[in-house]
Structure 1
């Protein structure tokens, strides 16, 4: 393909002379006779060089080159100024604006061809180098992405992910580790800087995760072993932040290890959306790093959100943004589809994130299974709940109840209330289930600043409150004769210990507890 040159001069005689010189030497030439025409031609065609007159009516050569350099598609095209007697100041201004050379009038054929050939050769070489580097970076990007597990690769992990890399070799990483049939590890990390060498560290970290995360090593020990290797691998100034979440579905436990990374967001089916884990040392710097760990209960229907700071980091650092992110997540919690949730979250955080200047990664993981259904309503100042399909775990229900009481019940009484609710619900759901695999429970909350009343009714045969109350009272007289009743009466003793009076119906499937708060 012939190399294409744009000749710009308001005098047709000049464009004809230059076109003749270039065409006879194999160049494809297009002429423009005004600055406006030159900008339009350059935007709509591909040129290897532009010969541009400085002095033209209307838009002069300086304004033309200023506009061309402001347009990404034309910014790299070499511009050679055509000059007459404008002088050194005009040439200096042209070079400042981005011109690469100049030719003088009247035109010297040998000079014109020599300068044009040199700059087209340089331009073509640079373009070839840029394309070659782009191809290499694309290969690195594709290789890096091929290492990132997709939801369809491990459907049992129940996750969705969004990853937008700012550069071809991204600095963010995530991985899912299936430890056994009931334990899954979710890791999100962020390398400092986005150098090509950072991209190569991705495969090393993935290998370390799969080597060190197992059922026999605690999550903190796993991260310490990975850190020990990274300290040796990383160069000075390199480091990595990370968050590792281990979900044990058999024990209903989630353990979160934080390594200088933004905290995980815990999204329970019922209860408060909140951040889990913050702080800890970064990875790859300190031999004796200290990592933060926290373990919480997690049940079917709950989910966790891991992310890198690119999701929220604008002008302020991420630690200042967390309350806003938690509020945004709370507003989206009813969205069941994981991909839709992440997409809506990305859109909702766009304003505070502003123009993207960092990689963005978001990973959402669910605890699969059928959670209990909950209906909540308010009537005459009371709050009514109905839970259907309850099994042995009751913590999600406790979370929902506490969320409604925390703003009214005095802070000093909230811990006791949680224990009392735990015992009352435990008796109704677990001990009162008998041959039933599932229970339906209704709860009524009536409260103000001076008093709280809780009524719990289960839809089964019920818990025999009378038997255990009598047994507990007898055990005070002879604890050695009836130790089993004393042990079994722990819930009732908890009511008494925390100052709750209670009553129950004859069937034993409804208990009402109440307590007055002193001023």
Structure 2
């Protein structure tokens, strides 16, 4: 939140085709200290919202050309405006329309004719929620800046979560590299396995990786959906990373109770899945934006059915890419991981990881990037 926005009154966009309704709401809001903007139709509202980024939108439903529901859809599809809270104000106050408005992304629905005190009370509640979320991001940025612990002290110990059934290999090329891994428990039988890679190899990169565990622990938890946690993480990284830096990461959520796995990918490599029943390896791929450079990010997770004994492997590009005389492309490296993961399916998980690592990186002196490979068995 920039300083100019921090100290100005909240800006509310009023969208209604009736000049009388707009004027009434404008008077009510301005008398309560809010700044206002007006749009007489949905198309104008979407344009004004993209340009001015109001703190909240009051949206009528019954309008010509484009009704309020279509306007809401357009606002939620635009990365610039998707997080602006929308309160519908409409004479269509039956249950069906109220539910539709909320399902489309509205935070509230007020029926016409409305009471001045009710409108102001609901606006206040939703502005407080919006600003509280922004303050949370700000506090995480400040907290992040205070962390100076060494990177290795943040690496999770497999003995802490024996029921998570995971092992890993971590080989930084510097004393503190740019790769990172973590395992976070988010439910009785649910864990999120994370492998990440910060661009660059310098003290600044080491500083960022040393604090990623705190950031992930704050935002990936039993009470926050993974996708929302990633957006919160991105909001902090967008503030603290250097312009030349970004984070790629893979987040594998395994729910053993539901026999399901979900891969959330932030511009990272795919995961490799080895089925216990067939000993065959396949790729688990998902789309998503890298973290840090963009204010808004999107993720498209992939779901996979799992059975006891199934394995997943997450890794960084230092494992699969080689340069120089022994050049190996990323695609070739990923294919090799699949081959060796399948070949070592009968070995204990830790030995399987060593088997894969030795076959892909036989000469450790040739490593030119950090290497992380994390494996888990359902």
TM superposition score normalised by structure 1 = 0.42
Evaluate the alpha carbon distance shift between residue 353 and residue 264 of structure 1 in structure 2; reply closer, same or farther with a 3 A threshold.
farther
Corresponding residue for residue 310 of structure 1: 318
Aligned-pair CA distance for 1:215 = 3.1
Aligned length: 227
What are the equivalent positions in structure 2 for 1:167-316 lying under 5 Å apart? 167-271=174-278, 272-315=280-323, 316=328
Over aligned residue pairs, what C-alpha RMSD do you find? 2.1
1:289-347 deviation line (CA, Å, top 9, x unaligned): 22231011112111111111111111344234322321221111111x22211111111
Counterpart of 1:344 in structure 2 is 355
1:160 paired to 2:167: yes
Moved more, 268-277 or 358-367: 268-277
Q: 1:330 matched to which residue of 2?
A: 342
SS in structure 2 at match of 1:261: coil
Cα shift at 1:353: 8.9
Q: Could you list the per-position Cα deviations for residues 384-424 of structure 1 after superposition, in whole angstroms to 9, with x for gaps in the alignment?
A: xxxxxxxxxxxxxxxxxxxxxxxxxxxxxxxxxxxxxxxxx
* Deviation beyond 4 Å, 4+ runs, structure 1: 351-354
Q: Which residue of 2 aligns with 1:43?
A: none
Equivalent residue number for residue 469 of structure 1:
none
- Counterpart contact for 1:188–1:307, Cα < 8 Å: yes
Change in 2 beyond 3 A, CA 1:213/1:286: same
Larger relative CO (CA 8 A, sep 6+): 1 or 2? 2
Name the SS for the 2:302 alignment partner: strand
Structure 1 unaligned residues grouped into runs of 5+: 1-139, 368-519
- The Cα of 1:278 is off from its aligned counterpart by 4.3
SS across alignment from 1:210:
helix
Which structure 2 residues correspond to residues 107-126 of structure 1 after superposition, within 5 A? Answer: none
Matches within 5 A, 1:362-511: 362-367=373-378
Match of 2:372 in 1: 361
Secondary structure of residue in 1 paired with 2:257: coil
2: CA distance, partners of 1:196 / 1:257:
28
Following the alignment from structure 1 to structure 2, what is the Cα–Cα distance between the partners of residues 165 and 239? 18
Question: Structure 2-normalised TM-score?
Answer: 0.57
Would you say the 8 A contact 1:314–1:353 is kept in 2?
no
Larger Cα-atom Rg: 1
- Cα distance in 1 for partners of 2:208, 2:361 equals 29
Q: C-alpha distance in 2, partners of 1:353/1:294?
A: 34
SS in 2 for 1:321: helix
Contact 2:195 2:251 in 1 (8 A): yes
